[in-house]
Every structure is written in C-alpha cells, then in structure tokens.
Amino acid sequence: MSYFCADHLRNHTKMEDKEVNSQDQILPVDGLGWSYVDGVLHCDGMSLEDLRMSLKREYGHQSSPAHVYSLSTLFANVKKYTEALGPLGKRGVLSYSLKANNNLRVVEALRQAGVTMATTVSGNEILMAMKAGFAPTNIIYNGTGKRRWEVELAIRHRVLLNIDSEFDARLIMGVAKETGVMARCLVRLNPDLEAHTHPYMATALADSKFGVEVQQLEKVLQIVRTGEIEGEEEHVDIEGLHIHVGSAVSRTQVFADMASVAARTLHKIRERGWPRASLINLGGGLNIRLSGGHGKGEEDSDNLATPQKLVGAVLPLLPEGTTLLLEPGRSLVATAGVLMTEVLGTKTNGEVTFLVVDAAMTEVIRPALYGAHHPVTHVTVPSDQERTEVDVVGPVCESGDFLARRCQLHPRLPTGTAVVVWATGAYCSSMASSYNMRPHALEVMVRAPDLYTVVRRPGNFEDLISCYQ
Amino acid sequence: MSYFCADHLRNHTKMEDKEVNSQDQILPVDGLGWSYVDGVLHCDGMSLEDLRMSLKREYGHQSSPAHVYSLSTLFANVKKYTEALGPLGKRGVLSYSLKANNNLRVVEALRQAGVTMATTVSGNEILMAMKAGFAPTNIIYNGTGKRRWEVELAIRHRVLLNIDSEFDARLIMGVAKETGVMARCLVRLNPDLEAHTHPYMATALADSKFGVEVQQLEKVLQIVRTGEIEGEEEHVDIEGLHIHVGSAVSRTQVFADMASVAARTLHKIRERGWPRASLINLGGGLNIRLSGGHGKGEEDSDNLATPQKLVGAVLPLLPEGTTLLLEPGRSLVATAGVLMTEVLGTKTNGEVTFLVVDAAMTEVIRPALYGAHHPVTHVTVPSDQERTEVDVVGPVCESGDFLARRCQLHPRLPTGTAVVVWATGAYCSSMASSYNMRPHALEVMVRAPDLYTVVRRPGNFEDLISCYQ
C-alpha cells in the first residue's frame, strides 16, 4: 500500500475559511465525509481536484476513472450499526458481507471500525476475509452452490457454514466426516417473504434459489441427525439459523417479519436436538438514501429503515438468550465511495445530449443490470447556473453502457473536467469486468485532509494478458 | 500455450462405429464441430467427457467451469463470410470485432481462418489485435469515447479510426497535428435505423450515443477540412464511412437500408474533398440460429440473415469501386463455444426446480443483462427418457444469477455430472467478472479428435489479489 502524505494539499484545505455546501449543490448521499467547500467536492477534508492532480502525476492516464473511498464515512456507517446493536452487548454482532466490496483495504478498515465478523460467499472470499484479519471462527460461509474444496476449507478453519439445501447438508456432512472436524452450521431458511426490492435483489421469495423452504426444514434437520450414527462423534453442530431477504430493503417491517419466522424456527431446531442453538442471523441489506434520484425502490427518509429502527423492530421478537447477527453490505460501503471520472466530450443525437466520460459499465454495471440510479454531480461546481439534462455514458461499445440518465449538469463541460458518480462503494468494484479490455480502475482511500492511500493499483494490459501461457 | 496430444482419447473417438446425433438430442446450434456420438457430446471429434477428465487431472477443481471452443466451427463460420464476399475479390474485406471474444488464441485462429482485419474498441484491443498478428494498418479503432493515449497509439501505428462525433474529430485532428502522422479515418454515421434487436444491442437509433447524425455530417467534415490550413500538410484522410446498427440483427433488409444510406454518404464525402474515399464499413452482427430456445429476437431459419443473403442484398447498392467491409463478431464466434459446467445439486423451492451448477453470471451475464436465452443440454444423454423443466442457476449470491430458465433436463443428475451452456463463444468470456471473487474460467480449444490446447489458464486467488501493493 502506498501512502501519500500530500504536503501540497495542505494549503488547499483550510476548511474554516471556506463556504461549506453552497446552496448550488445538495449532496446526494448522507455521509459525514463528503462536502462541497467553495464549490469543490471534498472527501474527508481533501479537495477531489487536488486529489486527482496528485493521482495524475503518479499514474498518468491510468489515474481516471478512480474509485474514491471516504474512511470517515466507512467508520460512520459502521457506528450506526454498532450503536444500534449496543443494547444487546455481546449478543449483538455485526458481520460485513464482503461481496458488496471485497477490496482488501476496505475490508480491513471495516474491521478496524468495529465490524466483528465477515460474511462470505466463496472460498476465495473466505481467504480474503482471513487476509483482512478476521479470525476464521468469525467468518460465515453462505451459498447455494458450494464446492467441495470450499466446504473443506471452511470446515477445516472452523468457519460457520449456512446449510442452504438438502444436497448442501449432505455435502457438509460428508466433508465433516472425512476431515474429522465438526462443522459449525446455521440453517438458511427461505421464509417466502416479499422484500419490496428489485427482483434480482430479492432472495427470499418462494421461487428464489436460496435457502431451505419452511416445509423442507424437518427433512434437512433429519439428514443431519441421521448422519450421526449412535456412539459415533457428532459431525455437524447447528448453532442457529439464517434468513436473508435480499439487498436494498427499505421497510423495517420486513425485518420484523423475518424475526418472527426466525424465533419459531430456532425453537424447532432446539427441539430437534440442538438445544444450545442460539444464533439468529438476519441477512438483507438496508436501502441507502439518495437524494435527487429517480431510481426504483427509493423511499422517503421518514419511512427508510435505519439500523436503529431495524434493531428496535426485531428485539422484542427474539427469544431469550439469542444472539442477533446482522450482515449488511451495501449500507456499510455504498455511500463511502464515489467513482471520479473525466469528461471526454459532449454530443447530441436525436433528442438526447450525451456526456461521454471515461468510466463505463465496466466499473458501474448496476444501472444496466438493475436499472439502478446513481446520481452524478460536478467535482467543481461551474460558476454559472446553466444546467441541462444529460445522459452520462461511457466509452464501451454497447447501448447498455450508461452510468446515469437524465442528470442535471452544466451543458458545456470541457474535456478533462471531473464529475463523480455517487454511491459506488457497493457492488461496483466487486462486479467490475474488463469488457472491451478495460483494466480495473484505480482505487484510493482518503484518510485525512492531507493523506490518501492507493488501495488498489490500476490494472494494465499486462494484467489482461497474464492468463496466456 | 500447452498442447495436450491426448493419446488416451484416441480409443474413444472411432467415429465410424458410433451413432451420430441420436434422435434424443437435437443440437441447439448450427456448427460442424458439434455432434452427439453414442449419446455423448463431441467437439471436433473429441468426447467432452474425455476432455473434462483430462482437464480434471491437470487442473483439479479449477477445471470447471470451462469454455470449450471448436476450431473447426471457427473456420466454418469464417468461411461463410469469405465465400459470401468472394465475388468482390479484394474489394470484399472481413474484419473481426474483438469485443465479442478477445481471447488471444481465438483471435489468432480467426486470422488464420481468413479474417484479414480486426475491429477494436480500445487501446488495449488494438494492442491485442497486434499481438494476435494483425498488421496495424489492418486494424480499425472504433469508439464513442476515445482517450488521448488511445488515439495517439492508433495514429502512430496507422490504424484506421472511426470519427464518432465533433469532439472526436477535434481530438483526432489535434493528435494528428501533434504527432505529424496522417490520421486514416472513416466517419461513423448514425443513420437512425431500427435493428429489431434488444435495446442494449441497438446502436443506430436516433437516441443512441453512437456515431454522427446525418444532419451533423457536414459539420464534422467541415471541422476536418478547416483544420487543414492552406499550404500545410494534410492531417486527416477520410477513406470512407462506417455504419453500425447493433448486434444480433436478423433481417437482411436492415443491411440493405444501411447500404443505401452508406452509398449516399460516400458520395457526399467524395464531393467534400476526399475523392478517393471508397471504403464502406457495415457494422452490425448477424443473429445466430438457436433451436429449442425461447429468447427474444430469434427468427425462423428461412428469414434469418446469412452472410450470403447480406452480401446479396448490399452488393447492388454499392457505388462502383467501393470496398465493402463487414465486421461481424458474435456470428463468427458464438456457436464455436460452449461453457461446460458441473452439477452441484438439485433443489426445489416453491414451484421451481433449480439445477445448481458451478458456472454463474460471472461467466455468462447475457441472460441477466439482456434476457438472452442460452440453451443447456447434457454432455452425456441420460439413458432414460425422463425430463423435467429446470432453471439452471449458479452459486453467485444474487437472484439475477441464472444461466437459463425452463430447460428440459433429466430431473436427477448426480453431483459432478456435466452439462453445457450453448453459444457462449461470444460476449461471455469477454464480459466476465470476478464477482463473489470467482476467478476467470479456464478456456480450451479443441483442434482435432485427439488434440486440444489450453488457450487461457484458469484464474486463481493470486490473480485476484495481485492488485494490492
């Protein structure tokens, strides 16, 4: 990791002299780390204009686009959960879902901010969580299609496994017997709950591939039970259960519904032979608040579920002695990241004006894949008030390559001007592709007004051809 | 590149003894390379069961999923175009669009099969085309958002550039002047033609970001002209024009429409000061024929455009002395590739039975992104006739992670059984991501009944963390 203690940035960050958040710019996300100072977007007190000049000196044309993370926002997002879970003491556990953003330094930062566990969905994510400093026993491995080597890795390291189906139960049993190591498990229940989110983000509908249906639960518990032959050592310990409704959930009631189902199921698991089972793992991420957006599933702030409201709704429904585990992903990291990108040009075809930038669907696929809206704003607010509606698109040869539609931006932004795409901290870098042979974008983390670190070097042509023997 | 001259495979490939294409299996794609022999899928005469056993010995759990390419099908697909273009002699040129599949060995194979030019959409694709043996002057660089370093790379190597907009014209002019090398250009026209394909694959609608509108053409030509100061050397030579309507085009008439617009435009370009302009580059890929599918945009075979029909429709409309350049991508490579994947298990939730396999949206994103249908069939046809409707899904933690819906497959395929996803030679490997920290899949090319080569080694954890400094 390279540290840049940017002396030359110091002169530009005397916050006290400057006007913060001019009425011209409303920040699209809640987040302590972001502010407009004298019309320039700042991250944790650092001017993004200064940051990109510094990156350009270091990396040339590889410096854009760049994912920029705000360390203070990561910490603030974690704090909302740890404070909400506070009343539960050690019985309130926060686990981070790595798939939202698996950048090693982001995961490390979240651990340092107070996240105690990591939820993973593959063998490589287990390895990454360990690399980021999580104890293997504080890792959860979740997935509909686990492979043998992944299950063996998890069991040998005493990672907690979610049993997702009958065939998954058999695989876990088999590996546990073979290795002679007791498998620590939760059962993942599919409660058939409507999460009111995009179909691709919903995971608990009856027809979803995830988890064990309520009516199949007995069967799965029986598979695990009958695998234990009289007199032989136990191979699988069931420590509790997992329910996941999907990503971007806005309604607190969804979590209360999950908790009710979870409480009944925990009772059943205890009765069936695991009296010490006590962990309820409620998955499903909270939606984030974006202003100025017109995406689907956005709720106004009064109704938006917060960690506080979530825990408040769930707490009264938990059986005594239960440990509550929450595993957010997007709501911890989305607002901590923006994608900074440079204007290549403006063109009008038909009725539409296009702002062509150097970022693309390769860095942010959520608009094309889910119809998600990511607001785009200027890094430096143009001094005149002229604004026009533009579609922000990238260089990828594909009509699906758009970053945001109908944004209000200045109509004549010169080539090289920077804009930011908001809320790209989640499901952007981790879903990136190298389509059109675009290497992975640079990622930086701002740690203080005069300190940033490069947390992922930019990809290059050599990376893209290293696979050819 | 590793060559495996698979002696042990020889015993299994005495084609003459075997029943080819039993009535139980209809091949979903046209392609000489694929056949069922004694109920086992063969690629260029090699049993895929033997192939995967060989890969498993070499790569263990990294051997699945695997992209398998048929060399003979690549050659056959190229031949359809070169034969169709035959009557034009040197005035009929075939260019391959790298973005469909940029595997180095696939691109090399296409060149060896008779493709003379390469169409690229980024600086790295230009480098890749050169690496695959294309002369720089036989490379076209196309794109709405070109970057300075990419334009400079193209101009210095005498690559042919498509001018996409006014700002693109200015950039190309500027770089040409600076480097002192004449830029070889085509103008990309947006003809506002309906391609009757998925909105994400259409590129020539009035509201698409691509190309120069007809009414803006004069302006763009003027920018290039007025950039040439009296007495100074010329900086930009316009050799012709480019029109592209998108991917997966089924109707021959679309190409005839393009040719008419192209002929008029070429006339205008010649009048405006480039009398030697003679290249008409018609972009837009032909749709491929898949049987047993229910995807959008499929046409029955009588109406499906073929290279022969395309050239036949276009030829009478071309002005004398014109060179016709076609730049297919998908129709050259899609049917030459399958993704071979292993069953992890079967589960039923609600009304839906899921076949969970070890491939995912990370290898094949077209179903989630475009609603594309890729047929899935058995590698070894089960001896009994029982079939059921299943959704084929992967291990990625996302409801959008499906490979194919409503496939007719055997209801009880044991773990480790292989199935293939068809027509994955295009826009699958090149659009792959490492979401959920899934490394890039292995890719192999079958060259003869007893010879395959690994054309891309499987990715691994080290690849995924090499970006952390």
pLDDT of residue B3 exceeding 60: no
B397 is catalytic: yes
Residues B372-383, mean pLDDT to the nearest whole number: 95
CB A442 within 8 A of CB A105: no
Instruction: List pLDDT tens digits, range B171-183.
Output: 999 999 999 999 9
Residue with tokens 């005469």: B45
Residue A5 confidence (pLDDT): 45
Give contacts of B 434-453 with A, CB under 8 A: 434-440
pLDDT of residue B460 exceeding 70: yes
Output Rg (C-alpha) for chain B, integer angstroms: 23
CA distances from B191 to B202, B260, B264, B270 (A): 12, 10, 11, 18
Instruction: List pLDDT tens digits, range B412-451.
Output: 999 999 999 999 999 999 999 999 999 999 999 999 999 9
Report the run of H or E that residue A80 belongs to, with start and end. Answer: helix A71-85
Residue with tokens 């590889």: A62
- CATH assignment of A2-70+335-458, among 2.40.340.10, 1.10.940.10, 1.10.15.40, 2.40.37.10: 2.40.37.10
Average confidence score pLDDT of chain B: 89
Cβ contacts of B192 on chain A, cutoff 8 Å: 350
CATH number corresponding to A142-328: 3.20.20.10
pLDDT of residue B268 exceeding 60: yes
CA distances from A173 to A119, A137, A226 (A): 21, 19, 10
Task: List, as one string, the DSSP characters of A94-137.
Answer: EEEEGGG---HHHHHHHHHHT--EEEESSHHHHHHHHHTT--GG
> Residue A74: CB partners within 8 Å, gap ≥ 6?
A106, A109, A110, A113, A332, A333, A336
Q: Provide the token pair at A109.
A: 């930062």
Residue B36 confidence (pLDDT): 95
Distance of CA A459 to the CA centre of its chain: 22
B456 to chain A, any CB pair closer than 8 A? The answer is: yes
Active site residues of A: 397
CA distance A191 to A208: 10
The catalytic position among B185, B397, B428, B467 is B397
Output Rg (C-alpha) for chain A, integer angstroms: 23
Q: Do A102 and B200 touch (CB under 8 A)?
A: no
Domain boundaries, chain B: 2-71+335-460, 142-328
Residues of chain A with pLDDT under 70: 1-25, 31, 194-206, 228-233, 247-248, 292-303, 469
- Among A139-153, B222-236, B379-393, the minimum mean pLDDT is found in B222-236
Residue A208 confidence (pLDDT): 81
Report the complex ipTM: 0.92
| Of B4 and B104, more confident | B104
H-helix segments, A137-251: 148-156, 166-179, 217-227
- Among B119-133, B227-241, B252-266, the minimum mean pLDDT is found in B227-241
Helix-then-strand count for chain A, H and E: 13, 22
- Among B30-39, B331-340, B356-365, the minimum mean pLDDT is found in B30-39
Fold held by B2-71+335-460 = Lyase, Ornithine Decarboxylase; Chain A, domain 1 (2.40.37)
Asked if the domains B2-71+335-460 and B142-328 are classified in one and the same CATH topology, the answer is no
Residue A21 confidence (pLDDT): 43
pTM of the model: 0.93
Q: How many CB pairs under 8 A join A and B?
A: 271
A39 to chain B, any CB pair closer than 8 A? The answer is: no
Strands A212-213 and A337-349: unpaired
Residues B275-296, mean pLDDT to the nearest whole number: 77
CA distance B413 to B376: 13
Interface test with A, best of B162, B219, B399, B415 (most A CBs within 10 A): B399
* Percent of chain B's residues with pLDDT above 90: 74
| Of B209 and A120, more confident | A120
Q: Do A124 and B468 touch (CB under 8 A)?
A: no
Residue A211 confidence (pLDDT): 87
pLDDT band at B232 (very low <50, low <70, confident <90, very high): low
Three-state SS for A301-368 is: CCCCCCHHHHHHHHHHHCCCCCEEEECCCHHHHHHHEEEEEEEEEEEEECCEEEEEECCCCCCCCHHH
pLDDT of residue B299 exceeding 50: no
pLDDT of residue B103 exceeding 60: yes
CA distance B15 to B45: 7
CB B50 within 8 A of CB B9: yes
B214 to chain A, any CB pair closer than 8 A? The answer is: no
Cα nearest neighbour of B430 on chain A: A435
Cα nearest neighbour of A459 on chain B: B467
Residue with tokens 């989110």: A197
